[in-house]
A and B are shown apart, each in its own frame.
Chain A
C-alpha cells in the first residue's frame, strides 16, 4: 500500500510556525520530519511518523505555493487563493525576509550578482546554513535591491512599501542594499570583529547624511525634483571633502587644532598623554580618509581605513570608550574655533557621521 496522493486543504490556510522555520532553514522533508520527531512532538500528540511525514509534506507544498507570492508581498495581501489572517500574513512575510547574521556578514558589501551566487556553496559550508536557505536569503537581498534600485524617495520607506516588512527589518534591508550598492569591503580579517548591526548602524548614518537624499530633504527648489536617491553617496560632497585636507596639510592649523583639543581635554582623559602623542597621526588618518573618498576604491575601503587609522591605534593604547567619545567630540568641536578654516558645514556633515560610526566601531 503506497500513498499516491495525500493532501489537506483548509479554507483558512494552516500555517505551522515550526514547520515554516524548518522550511525556511532549507531542510528537506526527510530532515524536517527527523527534526520534528526529535522535538518530541510524537509523544506530545500521540501521532505516528507517517502522520508527521504527511503533515510536513502538506506544509512544504503550501509554502512552495506561497513562495511565489512572498516574492512580491503585496500580492500575498491581495491574492484570493489562500485565505490567511493578516497577522499570519505578516508573520509569513517577516520570517521569509528574515536573514541569518552569519550569512549577511558574508555577503554584505558584495555585488549581488551571479558571481556571488556561485560562492554560496562555500558560504553554506562555512556558516553551516543550508545552501537552500543561503539562496533564499541571497535572492531576497537581490530582489529588494532590484526593486528599490531606481526608486526615488526614502530607501526605508520604499522597502517597507514594496515588501511590507517591519520597520526594523526594512532598515536592515536598507543597510544591505546601501552596502551592496557602494560595495563597502566588510570581509577583511581586520573587520571580522564587527557585527552586521555595527555596519547597519553606520549605513543608516551615512544614508541620513552623506547621500543625495540627505541633501534633497533640505527645502530647496521643490520643482527641480532632483534625484532623491538614498543609495548613492553625494558625489559633490565627496568632491568637497578634498577641502578638508588643509586641516592636516597646514602645519599651523594642525598645531592649533591639537592645542585646542589638548587644552580642553587635559585632566579629563585617562589616556591624555597617549592622545597627545598620537593626535597628529589620528587627525591625519581621519582627514585623509575624507579626502580620498573621491576614488571608488577608497570608498570601498572606508571601513578598513577607519579601523586601521583610528580604531586600532586607540585600541592598542587601551583607550576606554568614554575617552574616545570625549576625544571625538572635542576633536570635531574644536574645528569651529579654527579661524583660518572656512568649511565648517562640510566638516560637520563629515565628522558628525564619522563620529557616530567610529564610536560604534570601537569595541573588541
Chain B
C-alpha cells in the first residue's frame, strides 16, 4: 500500500443554471480514482455551492498513482430523473509524486464539459502521502522527473546524460468502438479523454522505469504524441533523453568547456562497419525531372534523407559508406570511440534494454557547454506505412464478443500491436543511425519523430542532427580523467562545432570545404543545416531570421497500396524541392547556416504538403555564401536575356538589402589567409568564381563551369519562373519585428520582460477548379505569408519585439481544406541595447585591446556586454549615440569605462530607472485614452473625476505561458512537474457558437485557461516549453457540427523576477496565487 491520495472538495462558483424553474442548481460532486468513488452532499439551490467536504481518502498502489488521473465530476441532483452532469475535471497527480515538486494541488479548476465547454469552477485540494517502497521489482517509477524542456532545466546540473528512451502504447480508439453508435457524443468524448489520460500515465511510468534502469533520475526533452489512426486504433508514443540531474543550490557555472581537438593525441586506428543498409533518395536520380538544374557538385548541405515504404516499391539506392579513414583527425577517432563506448556501456545492463543502446539519440536541442564537439548535419528518414487493422484479430474479438465497456484492457487484446509500431519506428531509427554514421557521427541530437496520417496511410518521419559528442557527459563516473585534462588545457574555441566530423577525402556526399574562418585550422562546410538551437558559444554575425520552404504536390486519389506507392514516389521530389527552396532562401538572406530545421510532410487525400521552418544565421566560422545566379535556356533571345538580367539584378538587390536588414557585415578577410592550403583545385576556382558573382555579367556565364561552384538557377519554363518570383515575394517582417523558430533570436540578447504567447489557426478552402501544383503552391504560400502578416499587425504594440519559437503545423483535414496552426511567443527587447550588442567579433577584440590599454576597467568588458542582459546604467540615449559617433568608440565601452566600485548600487538604480520608465509609459497611455474619450460622443459628463475603479486588484493569479525554456527577465526557481493535457470539444450548434471560428476560438481560450488553472493549483506561475502538439479540427457545417481535439504539454514552474530578486522591496509575486484564490472564494 504505497500511497494514500487525499482529496477535498471545497466549493464551486459560477455554476450553470441546471433547473430552469428556480434558475438555480442542486450540485454535488463525485470524486473518482481507479475504481473507487466518493460523493459529496448535495448543496441545494446555489450557483456557488460551498461543499467543504471531508477528506476523501484513496489507498492505492503507486503504479496506479502514476497511471490514473483523478476524476472529479460535478452533477446536478435531480429527484425524479437521472442526475445531469455539469462537467468534469481531470487532475494529473503525477507532480505530487516526486519530492522536489509540488506538495499540494489546490485551487480553482474550470469544470469542463466536452459539449458545453467550461461551466463554472470548482475548488479542490489534493494531497498524496507516499510510503517508502524498497521493492526492487516495482512497476512504478515514482520519483523520475519529466521535463518537456529540450535543454538541461535551468536550476539543474547534468551529471550524466544517459541517452534515448522511447516507449509506445496502443489501444483501440473509443470513438471507433461499436458502443459509440449507441452512446452519446459526450460519453464517447469522455471515454477518449480518460483513455488518453490513462495511456499517457502508463507511458510515462514505463519510460520512468527505463530511466531507473539506466540509473538516471530524469527525462529531459520528453515529447509525447498521439497518433489517431482511426479504425486501427490509437497510439501514444513518447521519446526523451534520460539524464541524471543535480539540483543547483546556487547558479554555479558549468564545468569548463573542452571542445578543442588536441594534436598530441595518439593516433588510434578506428574502424567502422560500412552501412549497406543506408537508403537514400540520391540526389542524382530525381534531377532530370526537375525544372531546376541543381549543380550536382553542390553540397547537399549534408542532409541525407530517405523515403521508402514497407512495400519496398521504391528502388533503394545505396549511399556511400561513411567509413572514417585513417587520415581523419586522430582525435576525432578517439572521441568517436569514446562516445561509442560510452553509449555501449550503458547497454550492458539487462537484455530488455539492449535495443535502446542501438540508438545514441538525444532529444535535446541545447547542451551544456562542451557537450557538442562537432555537428555533421541534418539526418532524416521517412517511411510510408499502411495501417491495417486486420493484423489484429484480437480487436475483432473484443468488439464482437465483449459487451462490457472496458477500455483499460490493452494487455488482453492486440498485444502484438505495439510490437508492430515498435518495429516501424525501430526501422526508421536504424536508418537515422546509419545516416549519422555516414556523416562520421555517432550520435544524433535534436532528435524528433512525427507522423502524418490520412485514411489508412501513415508517414512516419524522424529527423535529427548528426553530431560528435563529448563522452564525458555520457559516462558514469569520472573515467577518463587524463583525456579531460588534456582537453581542458586547450583553449575552447567557439567554432569547434562547425568543424566537419567526417573525413574530407572520403566525404559521404559532395561538399565544399574551407578552412574555418575562425581558427583557420579545421575544415568547415560552406553551409550547415541543423535541427538544434544555436549553441550559446557560437559566434554569429548580425541577426537571424525565420526561413520557410513551402511546397504542395497534387496526388491522385487512390486506395491502400496504390496510394502508399504514389506517396512514396512523390516523397523524394518533395524533399529535394524543399531543400532547394531552403537553400535558395538562405542564400537570398546572405546567411550560411540553418538552426532548428523542422521539415513537416503532411499527407492528404489528394495532395502532399511540405513545410520546412528554420532559423537562418550567419556563422562567423563558415564562409560567406555565394550569390544566386540565374541562367536562361535560350541565350540568344535578347529580350529574354534582358529579363533574366533584370531578375538577376533584383535578386542581387534583395541579397544586399537582406544583409543590411539583418546586419550581416562580416569582417573582410584577405584571400591568402583562407585559401592557402586547400588541396582541391575545385575549391580555388570557387573562390575566384564567387568574386565574379557580384559582377553583372552573369548571363554570359557558361553553365558547364557555373555548375561547379555558384548557385545557379536555370529558368527554362514558367514553373521555374514562378519559383524565382516566389523567392522574391517573401516579405520581410515590418521594422521592429524579428522572427525565428529557435529558442532565442541570434543577435538579440537584451530581452525585456513582456511576453505574449499565442496560437493562431487558419483554414482555407481551395476552389477545386484551379487545382494545379502552381496554384496550390501559391495558395499555400499566401496562406502562410498572410498569417505572418496578421501576427505582425496584431502584435504591433509590442514593437520592438521578436517572435520566437514560431512553430507552424500543417494539416489537411479534408479534400480541399488546408489548416495551418501557429504557436509562438512574442518577446519585447530593448532596441537601444540591441544596437550595442550587434558588434562584430573584430570590433569586440579591438575594444578589448583599447580598454586594456587604457586600464579603465576593473571588469573585463565581456562581463557587461555579454553576460549582463542589459546595461547597468544607460544614460540618455542621445548622449550615448553622440558619444559613440563622435569618438568612434562603441557606446557600451563608453559606459563601462566608469568606476565599478559601486556596481551593485548602480544595478539597483538602473532597476529604478527601468521602473520609472515603465511608469512614464503607463502615464503616456492614459493620456492617449483620455484624448480618445474626448473625441467620442460620450461627452465629458461621464468621465469627470475619473477615479480608480474598485476592481484594481484581481483575484486570479497571472500565469505566463511560453514555448521557450526560460522567461526573460526572470529566474526559474522550481520545476513543479509536467503538464500534459488532452481535450475534446464537440458541438452540435456550430452556428449558434459563432461558426467554426467562434467555436475554435472559444475552445483554445478554454484550453489555455485549464492549463493556467492547473499550473496555479500546483503553486506555479508559468508554463515553459509549452507546446500544442495536436489540434485536430473537423467540421460538418451541413449538420451544424464540429469537433476538435487538442493536446498540449509543458513544464509548470515557479519563477521570480530578477528585479525582485535584487530589489528587496518586492511583493512576493510568486506563490500568492493560492492565497489570492482563497480571497476569491471569500468575495464571491
Contact = CB atoms under 8 A, between A and B. Distances in A.
Interface of A: 1-14, 17-18, 21, 45-48, 50-52, 54-55, 57-58, 61-62, 64-65, 73-75, 77-83, 85-87, 89-91, 93-94, 98-102, 129, 160-161, 164-169, 172, 195-197, 200
Given A14-B794, A78-B1080, A164-B950, A1 B756 contact: no
B523 interface: no
B691 to A, nearest CB: 36
Given A1-B765, A9-B758, A169 B793 contact: no
Contact of A6 (B759, B762, B929, B941): B762
A130 B819 CA distance: 37
Minimum-distance CB pairs A-B, first 5: A5-B763, A164-B951, A101-B939, A10-B758, A4-B763
Nearest to B1010: A80
A45 B763 contact: no
A15 to B, nearest CB: 10
Interface string B760-791: 11111111000000000001001100100111
B495 interface: no
Contacts of B790: 8, 51, 54-55
A5 B947 contact: no
Nearest to A102: B937
7 contacts: A4-B763, A45-B793, A73-B951, A78-B14, A78-B956, A80-B108, A86-B951
Contacts of B883: none
B288 to A, nearest CB: 33
Interface string B992-1016: 0010111011101110110011000
Contacts of B759: 8-9
Given A11-B756, A77-B951, A78-B13, A51 B997 contact: no
Contacts of A102: 937
A18 B797 CA distance: 13
Contacts of B949: 90, 93-94, 164-166
A318 to B, nearest CB: 28
Contacts of B793: 45, 47, 51-52, 55
Contact of B1000 (A7, A45, A129): A7
The interface residues of chain B, by DSSP majority, are classed as: mixed
B1005 A77 contact: no
A239 B937 CA distance: 42
Contacts of B1033: 5
A317 B999 CA distance: 67
B1076 to A, nearest CB: 11
B926 to A, nearest CB: 9
A13 B1006 CA distance: 12
Nearest to A53: B790
B582 interface: no
B946 interface: yes
Contacts of A46: 734
B89 to A, nearest CB: 12
Contact of A168 (B757, B945, B951): B945
B443 to A, nearest CB: 35
Given A45-B796, A100-B938, A101-B941, A80 B956 contact: yes
Contacts of B405: none
Contacts of B1008: 9, 11, 83
Interface residues of B, number: 76
A51 B790 CA distance: 5
Contacts of B390: none
Interface stretch (B242-250, B277-285, B662-670, B957-965): B957-965
A64 B1012 contact: no
A309 B921 CA distance: 54
Interface string B610-621: 000000000000
B765 A8 contact: no
A78 B762 contact: no
Nearest to A82: B1005
A81 B1005 contact: yes
A164 B951 CA distance: 6
B764 A2 contact: yes
B968 to A, nearest CB: 15
B762 to A, nearest CB: 5
Contact of A87 (B789, B939, B952, B956): B952
B762 A3 contact: yes
Given A80-B110, A86-B951, A101-B939, A65 B1001 contact: yes
A45 B794 contact: no
Given A50-B786, A73-B951, A86-B952, A8 B941 contact: no
Interface of B: 13-14, 108, 110, 118, 121, 734, 756-767, 779, 782-783, 786, 789-794, 796, 817, 819, 929, 932, 936-939, 941-956, 958-961, 994, 996-998, 1000-1002, 1004-1006, 1008-1009, 1012-1013, 1033, 1080, 1083-1084
Given A129-B937, A197-B941, A81 B110 contact: yes
Nearest to B961: A11
A4 B765 contact: yes
A283 to B, nearest CB: 33
A196 B955 contact: no
B110 A11 contact: no
A63 B791 CA distance: 19
B1021 to A, nearest CB: 12
A353 B1012 CA distance: 54
A104 to B, nearest CB: 9
A57 B794 contact: no
A73 B950 CA distance: 11
Contacts of B945: 167-168
Nearest to A64: B994
A4 B817 contact: yes
Contacts of B1000: 5, 7
Contact of B1001 (A3, A7, A45, A172): A7
Contacts of A79: 14, 956
Contacts of B794: 8, 14, 55, 58
Contacts of B1083: 74, 78
Contacts of A94: 949
A17 B932 contact: yes
Given A73-B951, A90-B951, A160-B950, A99 B938 contact: yes
Nearest to B110: A80
B763 A17 contact: no
Given A51-B790, A93-B951, A61 B1001 contact: yes
A168 B1084 contact: no
B1053 to A, nearest CB: 15
Given A4-B765, A10-B758, A61-B998, A101 B938 contact: yes
Nearest to A128: B937
A160 to B, nearest CB: 6
A61 B994 CA distance: 8
Nearest to A69: B14
Contacts of A75: 14
B1005 A9 contact: yes
Given A65-B1002, A98-B938, 13 more contacts: A3-B763, A7-B1004, A8-B759, A21-B932, A45-B734, A46-B734, A62-B1001, A77-B951, A80-B1013, A86-B952, A101-B941, A164-B950, A164-B951
B952 to A, nearest CB: 5
Contacts of B952: 86-87, 90
Contacts of B767: 1-2
A75 B47 CA distance: 12
Contacts of A80: 108, 110, 118, 121, 956, 1009, 1012-1013
